[in-house]
Chain A
Amino acid sequence: MIGQPVAFAAAQGMVDAIWADRELRYPPAVTRLAPHATTTIACANRLSLWLPEQTPAWCLLHEIAHAMSTSVEGHSDGHGPVFMGLYIRLLVRYLRLDGTTLCASLHDAGISVARNAQPVFLDPDSPMRM
């Protein structure tokens, strides 16, 4: 289902569903990407995802991983280990990609991954959710 490009109108529902599935609260809001944006496909922070009319599924998950790895104060992991850990988990769960292959590929490219990464805004004593 999520392998198809996601229409803007459907994106908020998708984000809410994934957020709820991860047992998270306060999902970010989906906002339309500025029409004059040419180099940016999409972007995100803890509060908002800016998306175009059609977003590839992998890109939506990428932005959700950004939302999960950014604090409300704006501190972001960028494309660091926490982001990568979250992103991989989303790709495996919702796009059914092979986690082992993804991790091996990242290892070969020298990209570090926090395998047990949790959304950065969760309380430290929150139970780990795989």
Chain B
Amino acid sequence: MSQTAELARVKVRIKALTEKTVANGCTEAEAMSAADMVGRLLERYALSMDEIEVRAARCVQAEVPMGGQRRRPVDACIPAIARFCDCKVWLARASRPKFDDENFDRTQPGSRYVFFGFETDTVLATYLFAVIDRAIMTESATFKQANPSLRAVRLRRASASFQHGVAARVSERLDAMRSARDVSVQAQRPTGTALILTRHRIVDEAFRDTNVRLVSMAAVGRRRIASAFRQGWQAGERVNLNRPMTGDTVGLIG
């Protein structure tokens, strides 16, 4: 049994999908949908991007505003998102004005996370961040409603612990999904982890050319109120990280 023609068509399709980027005029939703399908096809057919001849694909930077001066619980998910999307990530701090600096440019961007990788991957990373951020907000609101007895400092601490719990669980799930994906690819490919290694090598090489030098930073927050953290952990289980069901497949009645 041979499926050579199918594999060739899949490669052509992946290549076409990788052209669907925001830079090429697609909407963010179209680019996101294309990135999703690329990921799915690569996984199902155990292909590497190298085999699709996207070695020359440009690595790009995608920025996610930090949303203030202080890091938030959702920021704890950033490393897991980057690992899941095969991106590098760093925090670009905004420069602060000196007290007597009247010429300070206040229009420059604030602190932000920068994802670096293939455009499809960075789009996925920013999308995931938005999904998780929104989920944490929604779950926090539910948590506050469910605990009307909490007030003032206690409420703030419990809410923060809850959010840390959500972020910790989501991070763990992302890492588990990444491991499962890698194992799946490894099981299907005779060449083992070639897909993962190739993607990492391309991103690493492109990253070296950027002259960005990274330093490690402390982890975000810690558990203060164990019960709130546990509830957050459970809420993190509910965050929908699955790929969306799209297209006319929904209409196929079994």
Contacts and interface: CB of A to CB of B under 8 A. Distances in A.
A74 B248 contact: yes
A62 B254 contact: yes
Secondary structure type dominating chain B contacts: helix
B166 to A, nearest CB: 21
B3 A73 contact: no
Interface residues of B, number: 26
B41 A47 contact: yes
A29 B249 CA distance: 14
Interface stretch (A33-41, A89-97, A109-117): A33-41
Contacts of B3: 24-26, 121-123
B250 interface: yes
Contact of A126 (B2, B46, B251, B254): B2
Contacts of B252: 43-45, 66, 76
B44 A29 contact: yes
B98 interface: no
B4 A43 contact: no
B68 to A, nearest CB: 36
Contacts of B250: 40, 43
Given A26-B46, A72-B9, A74-B248, A43 B2 contact: no
A24 B253 contact: no
Nearest to B10: A72
A50 interface: yes
Interface residues of A, number: 36
Interface in B9-53: 9-10, 13, 40-41, 43-46
A95 to B, nearest CB: 16
Interface in B51-70: none
B247 interface: yes
Nearest to A123: B2
Contact of A121 (B6, B41, B46, B249): B6
A103 interface: no
A3 interface: no
Given A29-B44, A72-B9, A73-B13, A43 B254 contact: yes
B1 interface: yes
Contact of B247 (A41, A62, A72, A74): A74
Contact of A28 (B2, B44, B248): B44
Interface of B: 1-6, 9-10, 13, 40-41, 43-46, 188, 242, 245, 247-254
15 contacts: A23-B1, A25-B1, A26-B46, A28-B44, A29-B43, A29-B44, A41-B253, A50-B245, A62-B254, A63-B254, A72-B13, A122-B3, A123-B2, A123-B6, A127-B1
